[in-house]
Structure 1
Amino acid sequence: MACKLTGAGIMWTSLSLAAAILNCAGYYVPHWIRGSYHNAIDVSFGSFRRCNYPRLTNDGRLEIVSECGRYRTFADIPSLSWQITTILMGIGVSISLLVAFTVLASCCLSDVITKRSAKTIGVIQLIAAILMVSAAVIYPYGWTSPEIRDACGGLSDVYKLGTCELSWSSYMMFIGVVMLFICFILSFKASKVKLRPYNT
């Protein structure tokens, strides 16, 4: 069956898939911010995962675990703002991925995407982008937690990273969100197919 997408629709499909991949990878990989403990051990944090983190041993000593992993429970995430970020970002990323698979199906199946459904999907992509932007705005409120301050030279505060810096996962998600906004615009010109009224 022939593809019923316009040139803008094919670009929409490609960008939707690329945005979903960037957002999923950026969300899961815990390299949102990077710092170091005592200027010796590099650490990095996402909203629900971290790399090279401190842990108390059974005899009460502090040791550095040299691996990446998630917090043991949702309650162990160091701040309420990071818990909210995890939820909002997770919903936005999931929507982005689901939409990408739906849009990708339109390349293989005729009449999957009509003008109206393309606009609806574009609005859903806009909602996903807004959720992710909201999560990114809330995330810096967690920079006041003791774990982050230890890694950022004791200087971090809301919207102030101290000696830490944003890392590559943050940039991946930023690019993914920008792509979602572009997808929203492209969705208005994505399909050649008009919804046919049902005969009564």
Structure 2
Amino acid sequence: MASSLTCTGMIWALVSLLSAAASCVGFFMPYWLLGSQMDKPVSFGTFRRCSYPVRDEERQATIMLEQCGRYASFQGIPSVEWRICTVVTGVGCGLLLLVALTAVMGCCISELISRTIGRAAGGMQFLGGLLIGSGCALYPLGWDSEEVRQTCNNSSDQFELGSCQIGWAYYCTGAGATSAILLCTWLACFAGKKQKQYPY
């Protein structure tokens, strides 16, 4: 099977796929922020939440429903910062995934990725990583929202966790963005083979 990638390009394709997978999985999982409410574990992502209070009309009390789900609408996301974070991180993950899939296809298709296209793909990965990194940086600005404060013993504020802690999904998303910026962008410069010059 012909490939349009150099040996470095093969490594680039693999690292790109791993970076995109880490960022996308971390972005989708609602374990960015961990806390508790009514003695039940609660976790938040940018657009999803696990465990939330509901009114039980039979018992005339508020109970915690222990299941995960996304917010009913975009406006339902607790803060403006988290809405921006959702969009910015989602676009960044989309870019990383697009480049990663193109890189994997380059392993099997000849003349798909030239030196120039490889460098352009690296630029897209750099941009995607920056967008995801920006989303991760914006996320703590939403810790002062009412939902988060209820989960963190009313002691959280912007960049202050209170009784909550950062979850594995936040680190996973950040690690994917960091590897895209530092590793993938550099490897992409050497990923494509020089195109053959055809005399016309």
Task: Report how far residue 195 of structure 1 moved.
Answer: 7.0
Offset, 1:99: 1.1
Give the conservation status (yes or no) of the 8 Å contact 2:118–2:188. Answer: yes
Cα deviations across residues 30-68 of structure 1 (Å, max 9, x unaligned)? Answer: 000100114x11000001000011234568742211100
One-letter identity of the residue aligned with 2:72: R
Q: Counterparts of 1:82 and 1:4 in 2: how far apart (Å)?
A: 40
Helix, strand or coil: the match of 1:63? strand
| Alignment TM-score, normalising by the size of structure 2 | 0.93
- Name structure 2 gaps, 5 residues minimum: none
Match in the other structure for 2:50: 51
User: Amino acid of the residue matched to residue 140 of structure 1?
Assistant: P
* Residue in structure 2 matched with residue 31 of structure 1 by the alignment: 31
Output the amino acid matched with 2:41.
D
Three-state SS of the structure 2 residue aligned to 1:189 is coil
Counterpart CA distance in 2 for 1:5 and 1:162 is: 49
Runs of 5+ consecutive residues of structure 1 not aligned to the other structure? none
In structure 2, do the counterparts of structure 1 residues 44 and 192 end up closer, same or farther at CA, with 3 Å as the change threshold? same
Aligned equivalents of 1:149, 1:74: Cα separation in 2: 20
In 2, the alpha carbon distance for the partners of 1:197 and 1:149 equals 65
Partner of 1:142: 142
Give the 3 Å change call, closer, same or farther, for CA 128–197 of structure 1 in structure 2.
farther
SS in 2 for 1:112: coil
CA distance in 2, matches of 1:197, 1:124: 29
Q: Is residue 6 of structure 2 the alignment partner of residue 17 of structure 1?
A: no
The answer for the alignment partner of 1:184 in structure 2 is: 185
Deviation sequence 1:146-198 (CA, Å, 0-9, x none): 11011112111111111111111111112111221110111111122237579
Conservation of the 8 A alpha-carbon contact between 1:4 and 1:193: no
SS in 1 for 2:160: coil
Q: In the aligned structure 2, how far is the partner of 1:78 from the partner of 1:159?
A: 16
CA distance in structure 2 between the partners assigned to 1:198 and 1:30 by the alignment: 56
Specify the code of the residue in structure 2 equivalent to 1:192: K
Contact 1:113 1:193 in 2 (8 A): no
For these two proteins, the number of residue pairs brought into alignment is 198
| TM-score normalised by structure 1 residue count | 0.93
Residues 1:195 and 1:170: Cα distance change in structure 2 (over 3 Å)? farther
Partner residue in 2 for 1:87: 87
Contact 1:50 1:68 in 2 (8 A): yes
Secondary structure (helix, strand or coil) at the match of 2:189 reads helix
Q: Which amino acid aligns with 2:22?
A: L
Q: Is the 8 A contact 1:34 1:42 kept in 2?
A: yes
Partner of 1:101: 101
Percent of pairs with identical residues? 36
